[in-house]
Amino acid sequence: TGQVLGTPAYMPPEQAAGEKHLFGPASDVYGLGATIYATLTGQAPFGDSDAIGIIKKVLTEDPPPPRELRPELDDKLQAIVLKCLEKDPGHRYQTGGELRDDLQAYLFGKGIKAGVATGLLSIAFGVFGGDGPAASTASASWTATNVAASFESVTIPSPELASFLDRWCLGC
């Protein structure tokens, strides 16, 4: 119908603009990235006093890097989140599997595909306790399953994030 439906702070720019021909798995990756962003920072990527103001920001502004809100976050994790929130769907992860692969690489201390440009991605291990991936891995299992039909099993390096995603995906 061309109507814009959804929660403005979590919708991808192509949805906010009503560009249905651009919808695809990368649109879902954006929504998941916005959810991860909110889980890690305590706020949505964009805020305003009304839905129209939020949609304008979704279309024209970049979200504040998570480390501006939580300086203790890891640069690599920030890079993963910001890659999910790219305005251009072609610059995001193209599938949930690609996102999962980068999250798992991060968890195990391997290189990630998301570029770490300006100190953007260091979150889960320092924020949620422990001295790194080994300490975090030893303290709990953080697998969020059935994230969405297009998302395979996603290993999440923080118990708070895994718990949130488990609740978010209830019934997926």
Which pLDDT band holds residue 62 (cuts at 50, 70, 90)?
very high
Q: Which amino acid is at 83?
A: K
Instruction: Judge whether 67 and 78 are in contact, CB under 8 Å.
Output: yes
Which pLDDT band holds residue 167 (cuts at 50, 70, 90)?
low
Instruction: Judge whether 162 and 144 are in contact, CB under 8 Å.
Output: yes
3-7, 32-36, 44-48, 163-167: lowest mean pLDDT where?
Answer: 163-167
pLDDT tens digits, 71-103: 999 999 999 999 999 999 999 999 999 999 999
Instruction: Judge whether 99 and 93 are in contact, CB under 8 Å.
Output: yes
Beta bridge partners of 154: 144
What is the pTM for the complete model shown?
0.68
Which pLDDT band holds residue 134 (cuts at 50, 70, 90)?
very low
If one compares 150 and 20, the residue with the highest pLDDT of the two is: 20
Does residue 153 carry a pLDDT above 70?
no
Q: Which of 118, 116, 57, 129 is nearest to 87 (CA)?
A: 57
Compute φ and ψ for 122, nearest 5 degrees: -125, 95
pLDDT at 92: 97
Which pLDDT band holds residue 164 (cuts at 50, 70, 90)?
low
Instruction: Judge whether 151 and 28 are in contact, CB under 8 Å.
Output: yes
DSSP 65: P
